[in-house]
Structure 1
């Protein structure tokens, strides 16, 4: 059975870094390979041309005639806090002006 695998990656372009994500479908227990990441980046609209580092999953891509770098983050830990719930909880806390 195939399962979804979210891929997080940083795009370094024109001195700015953007954290983006893509989606892979892998067989259960299968680890993504370099070709899987490359296919995911292409599906996200990146013109991947070369692999800079196969162990760290760093790619070179082109857009509008300019080269930029994409770094796949395999061990990315997403913040699992719900910011909407946190803000709602703060509205129920009484503020003590003596503190």
Structure 2
């Protein structure tokens, strides 16, 4: 079963010094985390021609020489699990309001 993974990342530009917070989307099989290759593909689909710089820190740099004016760092992988649990609890609470109760004696 595939599940969505929202990839939150920041792009740090050298000149002018600025940080942009962006996100992309990829699909992952089962309960596993995305691989570095999948993350690289996601960033490339977002328009960044990058390669892993320090995979253990989830950082990427441009593939073309002379384009060292930015770095990308993955900041969060969001599978929506926590939000789904919260939504389920809200639905349970709403459903309790619609259950017919027997009058108390």
TM-score range (shorter-chain normalised) is 0.5 to 0.7
Name the structure with the higher helix share.
2
Contact 2:10 2:20 in 1 (8 A): yes
Structure-2 separation of matches of 1:5 and 1:17: 22
**Equivalent residues in 2 for 1:32-51, closer than 5 Å:** 32-48=34-50, 50-51=51-52
Alignment of 1:47-86 (within 5 A): 47-48=49-50, 50-61=51-62, 66-67=67-68, 68-74=70-76
When Rg is computed on C-alpha atoms for both structures, the one with the higher figure is 2
Alignment TM-score, normalising by the size of structure 1: 0.67
Q: Distance in 2 between matches of 1:51 and 1:16?
A: 21
User: What CA RMSD, in Å, does the superposition of the two structures yield over aligned residues?
Assistant: 2.2
Pair 75,25 (structure 1): closer, same or farther in 2 beyond 3 Å: closer
| Runs of at least 4 residues off by over 4 Å | none
- Name the structure, 1 or 2, with higher relative contact order (CA <8 Å, separation 6+): 2
- The structure where strand makes up a greater share of residues is 1
Give structure 1 stretches of 5+ with no counterpart.
Answer: 81-99
